[in-house]
A and B are shown apart, each in its own frame.
Chain A
């Protein structure tokens, strides 16, 4: 029996990608199909990034941001994607948005935001800051 909640699909997708097993994209597809909200789209974006399908990942990330533009992680994930696609200006813009959201909402910078920042800094040659 297939679960009707997106959560098991999303969790299995993430487990499969970390365990280097096939089927992660299909599981993420199911989660989006059941409930196409920002979180599912972001997860699928991460999964697609992990398998180097960056353009599709970017489309998902854009959709996730259009549904919820207050999540700093979404901008951080898109910043990493832009870095992968060698679109550094857009990566920087998204990082600034992520940092502004963290600061405006007085929340802790998540590892995704910090990771995106270090990736961007390494790409622009600022390795000391990246470290």
Chain B
């Protein structure tokens, strides 16, 4: 097997997996490499969104939000709205988080993470039954979620 050392998407994915492993520094190293080899706005949008996720792990929520905004501006994908929702959620702005989660689910009903965070917010608001109903959609996929 020959490794393609200039494949931006490979670094992008590895960055994401390091984020899932809660190693934001290593994630950002890989995202730097992804950016170096990035040739398209689409990949750039994914890099920004993944950087935002790594920044949330580092606790720099304002940078994360700025990056999520940039990703959405480039490409309004369900997963990017979910990234921004996570920023709002961690900032305590649950109303804006819910708006983005709703948008995310509308754009892609398979975006399980959106259900997960929506359930979290509804639970915080005391709507336990609705929260449990949403959680049923994501049973078995908990490892995907950072918070």
Contacts and interface: CB of A to CB of B under 8 A. Distances in A.
Interface of A: 17-20, 50, 52, 54, 84-86, 108-109, 111, 114-115, 118-119, 122-123, 125, 127-128, 130-131
A131 B21 contact: yes
Contacts of B37: none
23 contacts: A18-B40, A18-B42, A19-B41, A20-B75, A52-B78, A85-B110, A86-B112, A86-B141, A109-B1, A111-B4, A111-B7, A111-B10, A114-B1, A114-B10, A115-B9, A115-B13, A118-B17, A122-B16, A125-B143, A127-B20, A130-B17, A131-B17, A131-B21
A123 B143 CA distance: 8
Contacts of A118: 13-14, 17
A86 B10 contact: no
B108 interface: yes
Contacts of A18: 39-43
A52 B144 contact: no
A20 B43 contact: no
Provide the main secondary structure of the chain B interface: helix
A108 B1 contact: yes
B100 to A, nearest CB: 16
Nearest to B144: A123
Nearest to B74: A20
Given A50-B42, A52-B107, 17 more contacts: A18-B40, A18-B42, A20-B75, A52-B110, A54-B110, A86-B112, A86-B141, A108-B1, A109-B1, A111-B4, A115-B10, A118-B13, A122-B20, A123-B144, A130-B13, A131-B14, A131-B17
B41 to A, nearest CB: 5
A92 B108 CA distance: 23
B2 interface: yes
Interface in B58-85: 74-75, 77-78
Contact of A127 (B7, B21, B77, B108): B21
Contacts of A84: 110
A19 B40 contact: yes
A56 B7 CA distance: 28
B2 A108 contact: yes
B45 interface: yes
A100 to B, nearest CB: 16
Contact of A20 (B9, B10, B42, B78): B42
